[in-house]
Amino acid sequence: MSPALLVLVTLFVLAYGAVGIFAVRRRLLGRLALREAVRRRGQTLLVVAGLMVGTATITAALVAADSVGDSTVDAFAYNNWGYVDLTVTATNQFFPRDVADRLATSPAVARVVDGVSAGIELVGSVSDLTARQGTSGITLVGFDPGSQRPFGAFVLTTGRETYGQDLAPGAVLLSRVLADKLQAKPGDRLHVSVEVPGSARPALPVDLRVAGIARSEGPGAYTLGSVVFAPLATAQDIAGTDLINIVRISAPGGIRDSVQAGHRAAPVLARETKSLGSPIRLAVSEVKAREVKTAKDSTVFIRALLVGMSALVVAAGAALVINLIGMLAEERRSRMGVLRALGLKRSRLVGLSVTEGAIYSLAAGVLGTGVGIAAGRLVAARFGRAFAEFAGSDFDFTFHFSLKPATLLAGFVLGTLLTLAVIFLASRRTSRMTITAAIRNLPEPPPERKSRRWRTVRLAAFGVLGVLGLTAPGFPRLAGGIALILVLSAVARSRLSSRTHSTLTGLALAGWSFAIIGGSDPNADANTFFLVFVVAMLTSVFGLTLLASANLHVAETVVGLLGRAFAGLRAILRPPLAYLSRRPVRTGLTTGVFAVIVGMLSLFAVFFVIFRPDYQRFGNGYDVRVLSTGSATVELPAEVRADVIRFIDIPTRGYIGPLKTQGGFGGGERVFVPLFQVGNDVAEAPPVRLDQRDKRFDSDRAVWEAVARNPSLVVADFGSPGQKLTLQGRDGPVTFTIAAAQAFGLLDGVFGTERTLSPFQSAPLGASVLVDVRDNADAPRVARTIERDLFGQGVDADSIQKLLDTADRANRAFFSTIDVLMRMGLVVGILSLGIVGMRVVTERRHVIGVLRAVGYKRRHVMLGLMTEATVTATIGAAVGIVVGVTMGYLFYRQSASQPGFGIDLASIGGVLGLIYLAVLLVTLGPAWRASRLSPAEAVRYSE
């Protein structure tokens, strides 16, 4: 159990233990609480459903985050490396095989490892001469059959197992992903090309045959990608070398449990490797352990995103809980008043309602965990789809759903504790009653002001904390500003009218939140970013809700104007509007729930537009992309030349090795990163358009000029401008700063000048070609023709439209992952309105009776209540749209060069339609019941 979980469980035991002791010691009250809890079945069900939301959302987010995390680690750390725990490499250079042999025979090494094996790993191209299909970006993995045993056997699709010793000369195995791409079958003739710079001997034309297709398990899953597995001698022939470029080492244990053993072996290996006295710098790397860490880090963002989004829903859920407690308190007010008159202390009264609440919250916790598992499954499935879209057919990524007892416990405990805390606070508020008024069910007289001295001390303390907070960037600054605004607002309260006061406070809170978001550091770590985002979102929603509620008289005025045309309408709408504008806390609780959710959905509606790839722009006028990783020269076939207006040929290095990124995305120990080598005049004819630029640059041109000038600047498709990325160069790690990012999916990799990329000259050389075809030429057909004609060279050609569509699908799949959580939030909003509707019927019986007595017809009562609900939802939606769109705009401003600002109106419209429909459905019942109340209710006191 993690320390955090331990703390939570302890708190849980303490809190519920205290409630339990209270219930046992005050047996009468305990029994009373139980009675109240089971008295009205329908109401209990509603309350439990409402209290469940928090637990369900938290559980869903955690379960989904677990699934993403586990799937990522399983795939990118365990399956990716198989039995390999450590490697010895020389930063993209070749070295003698002797290194492996001497390590293998060293007794010190033998004591701590299972296996040592010489190998080769190179990026190249392949063509299936039988199926007449070729492809680029494959990895040639040379393995040594003689020492393969500790690394496991390849299991072929036929069920045959092999360590490679029984492979005939020239026989190779294909990974499943590659076989699918080539539509290759055992027996097919194969050609693999790699261009190794400065190789000792020219590559021989090697006649290769597919001996089998490896299943994605054990060594066959190695790299997860497109692989030609060749016995070392064959691989050396293909590469034209007698050397190797990797020693793979397996520590004792299986695929998943060898990390510790690997860690113990690492220092021994480092010592022994050093003692070899190799002229080339050899490095021992704990690849699997590091990959596990990288994989975990890369999911920090997703976990933070999920937890952040669920926090918004939980905040909405808390508002719902307050509403529910209010409803229960109203219903029981006179009963509780009698108990108080009979001598029950206020604290005991709080104990009574907390005990009742504890019963509900436990039931809700159990139910919520169940619902959370189901919802988490949905969210996880969305992520599975998104990952599949990103991986496309290039990766063997299997997503699986994880359910861990510790996570369920955490969701349950966190959810129920939060619920209980909110119940406690709400109960304290509602227990403040004037006994005589409560007994006779008369309206509560206004509360007396609290002691001024304490108030001053508290304000001063808050003020000091606020000022301190302002000095630190990020969350402390946001929180400090909020504290200061609240302090000022409290001080100014008596000097301003309540309307002016609320308006100014609301504006200040929203403005401050927006300012912080506008100036927030997009490269901050994910947890900080989401903390700031969630709090800013809630604060701006709160502020604007305050502002809107305080100014609802505007709506009254508008209705007043309408009233001139429709006499009587004014009378009918006056009470509901007055209830909304003069009960700002209650109105705010409900509108706030809507605002938060609609705000998120509006933000996504903006993201949809500003992140939508723009073919014309990102394509930079090119229509076809050709990739060749096996050879540096691409001759466009004569057949298409007539269709080609211009083309650009970018020398591309096939870097394969460790990649470290600042955000954690895309990093790993063995990543294929195409390095696009641009000329010093790249600014004259840039290959791609940029999607995001560092703020220092005000145009694409400025970026390319800087990249040409400064060898530490690159353009990359991953990470954000301003972030760093690190690759392994000839003489050690090389770190670049990302000046700008191109849209992903077009030319994925890193752009730099020859000078910038010089540490990687030993990486195989290929080419990337962008082709601009005539307007009336068929780009997909041109791509097909190029691929067919150059299949022997193993090139991939695709229309840019297709590439961008694929990227767009992946982007959308990613956004859709949050949908499920937001929908749970919408349910909270709708439930809130339903509950408010029910509260109205119990609480306003007398008022409705009076209105009916003085002449309101049944349909007037109904119309009034429906208006109240609709206006509530509308204010919520309006605040949400303002907050969401403003935040969207602020994010848009931060990434300088997106195509244009806009809002996906269809998606917002859909949500609004749904909201109004649901509002109608949940308020119709209570409104109808209210309209059936007898006018004689006005006269009678008791329930």
User: Which parts of this chain interact with another protein (CB under 8 A)?
Assistant: 440, 442-443, 445-446, 560, 563-564, 567-568, 570-571, 574-575, 578-579, 581-583, 846-847, 849-858, 934-936, 938-941
Of 348 and 858, the one with the shorter C-beta distance to another protein is 858
Please give the structure tokens belonging to residue 446: 């206004």
Angstrom distances, CA of residue 229 to CA of 232, 233, 556: 9, 12, 76
Scored b (16 or more CB within 10 A) or e, 502-517 reads: bbbbbebbbebbbebb
Q: How far is the CB of 593 from another protein (least distance, A)?
A: 22
Q: How far is the CB of 855 from another protein (least distance, A)?
A: 2
Helix (H, G, I), strand (E, B) or coil at 822: helix
Judged by phi (left if over 0) then psi (alpha if -120 to 50, else beta), residue 138 lies in beta
Of 460 and 562, the one with the shorter C-beta distance to another protein is 562
For residue 712, the tally of other CB atoms under 10 A from its CB is 13
Judged by phi (left if over 0) then psi (alpha if -120 to 50, else beta), residue 722 lies in left
- CB within 8 Å of 422: residues ≥ 6 apart: 318, 321, 322, 325
DSSP one-letter code for 443: P
Report the C-alpha gap between 847 and 853 in whole angstroms.
10
Of 385 and 553, the one with the shorter C-beta distance to another protein is 553
Token match 């010489």: residue?
Answer: 118
Q: How far is the CB of 934 from another protein (least distance, A)?
A: 7
Report the C-alpha gap between 784 and 302 in whole angstroms.
37
Of 117 and 587, the one with the shorter C-beta distance to another protein is 587
Q: How far is the CB of 548 from another protein (least distance, A)?
A: 17
Of 574 and 788, the one with the shorter C-beta distance to another protein is 574
Of 201 and 583, the one with the shorter C-beta distance to another protein is 583
Of 572 and 903, the one with the shorter C-beta distance to another protein is 572
Report the C-alpha gap between 397 and 293 in whole angstroms.
18
Of 795 and 851, the one with the shorter C-beta distance to another protein is 851
Q: How far is the CB of 939 from another protein (least distance, A)?
A: 5
The torsion angles phi and psi of 393, rounded to 5 degrees, stand at -95, 10
Q: How far is the CB of 602 from another protein (least distance, A)?
A: 31
For residue 277, the tally of other CB atoms under 10 A from its CB is 6
Of 31 and 582, the one with the shorter C-beta distance to another protein is 582
Q: How far is the CB of 922 from another protein (least distance, A)?
A: 23
Report the C-alpha gap between 140 and 125 in whole angstroms.
9
Asked if 628 contacts 735 with a C-beta cutoff of 8 angstroms, the reply is no
Helices assigned H by DSSP within 525-625: 526-550, 553-565, 569-582, 584-610, 615-618
Of 407 and 591, the one with the shorter C-beta distance to another protein is 591
Please give the structure tokens belonging to residue 654: 């096939």
Of 471 and 497, the one with the shorter C-beta distance to another protein is 497
Q: How far is the CB of 446 from another protein (least distance, A)?
A: 5
Q: How far is the CB of 447 from another protein (least distance, A)?
A: 10
Report the C-alpha gap between 231 and 221 in whole angstroms.
16
Nearest to 221 by CA among 139, 297, 285: 139
Of 920 and 938, the one with the shorter C-beta distance to another protein is 938
Of 484 and 840, the one with the shorter C-beta distance to another protein is 840
Q: How far is the CB of 856 from another protein (least distance, A)?
A: 7
Nearest to 782 by CA among 767, 802, 758: 802
Q: How far is the CB of 339 from another protein (least distance, A)?
A: 22
Asked if 83 contacts 252 with a C-beta cutoff of 8 angstroms, the reply is no
Of 107 and 445, the one with the shorter C-beta distance to another protein is 445
Q: How far is the CB of 564 from another protein (least distance, A)?
A: 7
Helix (H, G, I), strand (E, B) or coil at 680: coil
Q: How far is the CB of 398 from another protein (least distance, A)?
A: 60
Helix (H, G, I), strand (E, B) or coil at 476: helix
Report the C-alpha gap between 22 and 919 in whole angstroms.
40
Report the C-alpha gap between 737 and 461 in whole angstroms.
43
Q: How far is the CB of 451 from another protein (least distance, A)?
A: 22
Tell me the Cα Rg of the chain. 34
The torsion angles phi and psi of 170, rounded to 5 degrees, stand at 80, -5
Do the bridges between strand 644-661 and strand 283-285 make them parallel or antiparallel, or are there none, so unpaired? unpaired
Report the C-alpha gap between 794 and 630 in whole angstroms.
7
Q: How far is the CB of 332 from another protein (least distance, A)?
A: 19
Report the C-alpha gap between 355 and 18 in whole angstroms.
10
Report the C-alpha gap between 522 and 516 in whole angstroms.
12
Of 60 and 851, the one with the shorter C-beta distance to another protein is 851
Of 329 and 938, the one with the shorter C-beta distance to another protein is 938
- CB within 8 Å of 550: residues ≥ 6 apart: 498, 499, 501, 502, 503, 506, 581, 584
The residues that bridge with 171 in the sheet, in sequence order, are 209
Q: How far is the CB of 551 from another protein (least distance, A)?
A: 16
Q: How far is the CB of 935 from another protein (least distance, A)?
A: 4
Report the C-alpha gap between 288 and 265 in whole angstroms.
13
Q: How far is the CB of 561 from another protein (least distance, A)?
A: 9
Of 150 and 849, the one with the shorter C-beta distance to another protein is 849
Token match 């469940």: residue?
Answer: 52
Query: Which stretch of DSSP H or E encloses residue 671?
Result: strand 668-678
Of 443 and 900, the one with the shorter C-beta distance to another protein is 443
Helix (H, G, I), strand (E, B) or coil at 933: coil
Token match 């996570």: residue?
Answer: 407
